Chains A and B, each alone.
Chain A
């Protein structure tokens, strides 16, 4: 079974902190994604990566950056956390040419 693992289920951070959300997949997938899930807004794409060291902005990249130094790991970075970044963050991965995306369990981040 494909497994996408997010390092934390729950995080509480203070405004202005630098926050790292980590995601690891074990199926050699080329594509990795970070989504943000908010009630009534669905899943919105923050960033995605289609290869090591490659990244592209999604629909809401402001305030975020990403890092992909190894194929299996994709990190989301909040440079200076703000309260409006309180949300559920979902990581996903997929193969090139195969449409199914596999999601992690999510990280619920609260910024106080």
Chain B
């Protein structure tokens, strides 16, 4: 119930492609779904986040799609660039508390030049 399942584990795309990373959850009490981006040697940093009252959120080239009935959400990266090569983590949280996150297992993305 507390798990967040993330796929794929790794992804290689050509520059300009649209990588898609998927996450699924079970606990319907989750009400905050962030994506974190981590470059080698760095800690994760918040990229974009969504709450379940909207189905899509876009920030620059990054878009979250959210399907509440299916309990799934995904990250799309438009016009991907080599600089987007990083590990991406989805997460889920219940915000009536201390924002303890449950993280997915991560997706290592490589964008080829």
Interface residues of chain A, those whose CB is within 8 Å of chain B, are 4, 31, 33, 35, 40-45, 48, 50, 58-59, 90, 92, 94, 96-106
- The smallest C-beta distance from A23 to any residue of chain B, in angstroms, reads 11
Q: Is B101 an interface residue (CB 8 A)?
A: yes
Chain A hits for B104, CB < 8 A = 42
Q: A33-B100, A90-B44, A103-B45 are in contact. Are A42 and B106 (CB under 8 A)?
A: yes
CA distance A88 to B78 in the complex (A): 31
- Interface of B: prevailing SS: loop
> Nearest chain B CB to A77's CB is how many angstroms away?
20
1/0 per residue, CB under 8 A from A, across B82-113: the answer is 00000001000101001111011110000000
User: With A4-B43, A41-B105, A42-B106 as given contacts, are A99 and B95 in contact (CB-CB < 8 Å)?
Assistant: yes
Q: Is the CB of B44 within 8 A of A103?
A: yes
**Interface residues of B, CB < 8 Å — how many?**
24
Cβ-defined contact, A31 with B43, below 8 A: no
Out of B2, B43, B103, name the residue touching A106 (CB < 8 Å). Answer: B43
Chain A residues with CB under 8 A of B42: 105-106
Residue B6 at the chain A interface, CB threshold 8 Å: yes
Q: Which of B13-54 contact A (CB under 8 A)?
A: 32, 34, 36, 41-46, 49
**Taking the complex as formed, is B9 at the interface, i.e. its CB lies under 8 A from any CB of chain A?**
yes
Please determine whether B43 and A99 come into contact, CB atoms closer than 8 angstroms. Answer: no
* Chain B min CB distance to A44 (Å): 8
